[in-house]
Structure 1
Amino acid sequence: MELRDHGRYGYSALPERPDYHWPGGKRLALCICNNIEIFSYRSGLGSDSATLTAPQTHRNYAWRDYGNRVGQWYLFDLLEECGLPASHNVNSAVLRQYPQILQRILSRGDEIVSHGRSNGERQDVLSENEERQLIAEATEEITSLAGYQPKGWMGPYFAQSEVTLDLLQEAGYEFMLDWPVDDQPVWMRTRGGHILSVPYSVELNDSPSMVFRQESIASFECMIIDQFDEMLFQSAKRPLVFSLITHPFIIGHPYRLHALRRALAHILLHRDEIWITTVGGVNAHIRSLPSGILPGAPD
């Protein structure tokens, strides 16, 4: 049997890679990536709080909209209390329909990562021209409302087609979050050059964990702490990226938020040992390093 290869990066064993440091000589980067999403009422795609294959109803629409009305504001306040920045993967329609969210992001100085037009759709089922249009429309809407073009992309539902990386690089994106392939950034080949893959966890992610695998918030809290402690230990050998992924309609419910508060308090006991940044901060630092440091480095 001949295995089909994607051609986007080559194999690189972790112990064989060149060493480098994050700013200040730190070895572990902390990134909080929060997904702010909008959905179509009773149509399109959208997860359910209880049943994986549930149809789109008023109930699950309301459950998800709770995140934008309530949960996101709890989360903003918690980030403020902890003194933490965040990267927000934002559907462009969110910024148009809920300008208060945009203003809070801008006032905090947080990062916006483009997350498509809405989470009522996905891009991997589109033709190349349709996908190019989706990327262009999302980019133009965020740019016009936020005042700058995002450098990063996260596809709704982690979805990519065969040509997504090519289209993103051609649209001016510097990095994306859709390939959970590594705990270090990796260069990905495109037909027009390269794009950076910044680590984005599909494991330490409240949606697949608590919605799709039906784990409890107690389990997720333990996952956060264990992941952080082990990565801090492993980072003595090599630089790593710890990414914590949230959705306000999931983590923003008070009992879950309280568990997140405890987990962040544990992490911040080590504040002086880690580099607290955004995924865009990771991208910028990597681009400042000499060529050849990263796996799959540009030719």
Structure 2
Amino acid sequence: MFAEPNLYDYWPYEKRPKIEWPGGKKLAFWIAPNIEYYEYQPPHNDWRQPWPKGNPDIIGFSQRDYGNRVGHLRLMELLDKYDLRGSVSLNIALLDHHPEIIEDCVKRDWEFFSHGIYNTRYSYGFDEAAERAVLEDCIKSVEEKAGQRIRGYLAPALTHTERTIDLIAEYDFWYSCDLFQDDQPQPLKTKSGKLVSLPYSLEVNDVITYGSLSQSPSRYADVLKRHFDQLLEEGEESGTVMCIPLHAYLVSQPHRIRMFEEALEHIKAHSDDVWFATGREIAEYYREHYWDQTLADINAQGLATGGTGFSGAGK
């Protein structure tokens, strides 16, 4: 038994080496629309039931289908208005089920990163061969049908095995969205590669705010503004990262979209201090400019712990 997964070292927020984003920006901001497919009758998994109400769940399926039929176009048009590119957390099956959505993303030069094949097929119970097959399918399919080499990973329904982090590093993914330990990027301990834990968010994820917390649209907009204001203030000392993970079947509902737009207006009003980027761009910049500096600081403070090391140091 392990007390913790030992995927990263404890690294106190204060007194870290300063991060400065391109152009001297204080905060790196990215938006992650989750473009997902939930199967009507998903295969059984002993560890977790895909539909809490049981299979099949007509209501649950149709609610999520709203995003793919209506919500994504509404969200895309709003992000176009504010000149914002999405970093798509993609269930790879969407390439086949809804190629028209993929075409809309490609036309806008949005980034794709992997969110598994379906959001109703979990990593629990996978052996290594099965997990490798999924990763290889994700890489190959997006390259062939969307013309991109995916570099980010968010596990399907946030489900993992003990191998997941090492495997995505081995397959030359640059960042993981599955850890929520910080407001700045941080190197992860892997057997190979240079994998960054990139700040995603559960706190401002619309699944949590609208689903688990039942917040009103106005409350959600206020949370986003306050979250942004705090990170921007702290970015004066060292660059921070803010991500807004979204699901079009939630945020793009007619009674919610206008309040979300208010939050975007507030954020865009600070354009002089904000780097509007994709997840890939943020991870790439950090790997190139701050990876070695971070590891040197952790070692200098005597914070490095045993176990799996940082294979990518100095590479």
Q: TM-score, normalised by structure 1?
A: 0.92
1:144-183 matched pairs, under 5 angstroms? 144-183=144-183
3-state SS of the aligned residue for 2:85?
coil
What percent of counterpart residues are identical? 28
Structure 2 contact 187–291 (Cα < 8 Å) conserved: no
CA positional deviation for 1:44? 5.1
**In structure 1, what residue type is equivalent to 2:34?**
N
CA positional deviation for 1:156? 1.4
Supply the distance in 1 between the matched residues of 2:217 and 2:125 (Cα, whole angstroms). 33
1:1-299 matched pairs, under 5 angstroms? 4-43=3-42, 53-55=52-54, 56-289=56-289, 291-294=291-294, 298-299=312-313
CA positional deviation for 1:164? 0.2
Structure 1 contact 96–145 (Cα < 8 Å) conserved: no
Shift of the 207–290 alpha-carbon distance from structure 1 to 2, 3 Å rule, reads closer
Q: Which residue of 2 aligns with 1:49?
A: none
**In structure 2, what residue type is equivalent to 1:118?**
Y
CA positional deviation for 1:20? 2.2
Supply the distance in 1 between the matched residues of 2:135 and 2:212 (Cα, whole angstroms). 27
Supply the distance in 2 between the matched residues of 1:167 and 1:291 (Cα, whole angstroms). 20
My pick for the range that moved more, 258-267 or 214-223, is 214-223
Shift of the 211–286 alpha-carbon distance from structure 1 to 2, 3 Å rule, reads same
3-state SS of the aligned residue for 1:255?
coil
**In structure 2, what residue type is equivalent to 1:175?**
Y
CA positional deviation for 1:204? 0.7
**In structure 1, what residue type is equivalent to 2:67?**
G
CA positional deviation for 1:103? 1.0
Consecutive unaligned residues of structure 2, counting only runs of 5 or more, are: 45-50, 299-309
Supply the distance in 2 between the matched residues of 1:288 and 1:194 (Cα, whole angstroms). 10
Structure 2 contact 19–290 (Cα < 8 Å) conserved: no
**In structure 2, what residue type is equivalent to 1:24?**
G
Supply the distance in 1 between the matched residues of 2:66 and 2:294 (Cα, whole angstroms). 41
Shift of the 38–240 alpha-carbon distance from structure 1 to 2, 3 Å rule, reads same
What do residues 208-254 of structure 1 show as CA deviations (whole Å, max 9, x unaligned)?
22112322222211110110111111111111001111001111111
- Provide the aligned length of Structure 1 versus Structure 2: 292
What do residues 249-279 of structure 1 show as CA deviations (whole Å, max 9, x unaligned)?
1111111111111111111111122111111
3-state SS of the aligned residue for 2:188?
strand
Structure 1 contact 185–294 (Cα < 8 Å) conserved: no
Shift of the 252–168 alpha-carbon distance from structure 1 to 2, 3 Å rule, reads same
Supply the distance in 2 between the matched residues of 1:108 and 1:216 (Cα, whole angstroms). 30
3-state SS of the aligned residue for 1:8?
coil
Q: TM-score, normalised by structure 2?
A: 0.88
**In structure 1, what residue type is equivalent to 2:223?**
M
**In structure 2, what residue type is equivalent to 1:149?**
R
Shift of the 255–87 alpha-carbon distance from structure 1 to 2, 3 Å rule, reads same
CA positional deviation for 1:3? 5.9
Structure 2 contact 174–284 (Cα < 8 Å) conserved: no
**In structure 1, what residue type is equivalent to 2:28?**
A
**In structure 2, what residue type is equivalent to 1:35?**
N
